[in-house]
Amino acid sequence: MPADLPKRPLFVAHPDDESLACGGLLQRVETALVVFATDGAAPGFGGERISETLKAYSDTRFLEASHALAHLSHALFQRLMKPDGSYFVEVHLFEELPEAFASLCTAARSFSPDAIISHAYEGAHLDHDACSFLATHTTGALSLPHFEFPLYWLNTSGNVVRQQFRGTSPGLVDTAHKVIELHLSESEIACKRKMLAEYNTQRGTVASFVPDVERFRLASKSGDSFRDARCRSYMYQERRPRFYHTRRHRLPAKALLKKFREFEDWQRINRAGHEE
């Protein structure tokens, strides 16, 4: 394994991201903590049709996650929690950033990782970008290295680009920053396939990714990138739609940027209060 990758990382993602993006790296590290940021059950996206209720669907997803990580002997997992003990709802994480930040800081302090690994800011999935934002601020607060991985995004032609870092412009691939590539062995690929096979509810998504290469890079320490939108809008639902074939509701990217700014304002006020 490249010497500059961490040996005791904390991963922040939601169920299946850790196996898709880091299943090989997870096999190589000495120990790891996977922190799942959301409940895995986005309202209005059909989960209740699979498991009758969203709560049951969430339980199923975390049973899958526990089975996936059971293929490794040294990977623990836990979930971000609100102060009242409940979990953050999928695709609504961005609405509760201060609470999620506090929970992630608590998990990191308890585990004492040598780095945090999370999504790159891609403009494809609300939770991925919220996780990227949270990881940036948590590593800044705790003085930890921050590594990021790519999952997927849309280029200017509307085509999905998987497992490649995007550039600062929405349709470009980034070639300027050092990317660390892990080429997995046959045995590592076999183990990763077993992990991914546990995510039966996500089998369509899982099947679209290539398992033999994983990419990472050091994330920027500056939060400036979060002031720019990486897409026009995100898939988003607030409630179950009447007809599922019309469920492509969108949230403007500027709404996410507004929540990022609100968090930074909250953090400045909180920091000033501690300094007084």
- Looking at the chain, how many residues does it have? 276
Q: Residue 163, SS3?
A: coil
Any domain includes 199: yes
Tally of structural domains, the chain: 1
Q: Quick one: pLDDT band at residue 243, thresholds 50, 70, 90?
A: low
Residue 94's pLDDT is what? Answer: 97
N-to-C CA span, the chain? 46
Any domain includes 121: yes
Any domain includes 28: yes
Any domain includes 183: yes
Q: Which of 194, 80, 221, 208 is nearest to 140 (CA)?
A: 221
Any domain includes 4: no
Any domain includes 3: no
CA–CA distance, 8 with 62 (Å, rounded to integer) = 23
Q: Which of 238, 187, 209 is nearest to 43 (CA)?
A: 238
CATH number where 46 lies: 3.40.50.10320
Q: Which of 210, 254, 157, 206 is nearest to 16 (CA)?
A: 206
> Whole domain around residue 132: which residue ranges?
9-275
The torsion angles phi and psi of 182, rounded to 5 degrees, stand at: -105, 120
Q: Which position has the token pair 């339980």? A: 59
Residue 17 and residue 119 in contact, taking contact as beta carbons nearer than 8 Å: yes
Chain segment 204-242, per-residue pLDDT in tens? 889 999 999 999 999 988 778 999 999 999 988 766 655
* Cα-to-chain-centroid distance, residue 14: 6
Chain segment 108-133, per-residue pLDDT in tens? 999 999 999 999 999 999 999 999 99
Residue 57 and residue 51 in contact, taking contact as beta carbons nearer than 8 Å: yes
Q: Quick one: pLDDT band at residue 170, thresholds 50, 70, 90?
A: confident
Q: Provide CB contacts within 8 A for 101, sequence distance 6+.
A: 134, 137, 138, 263
Global model pTM greater than 0.85 = yes
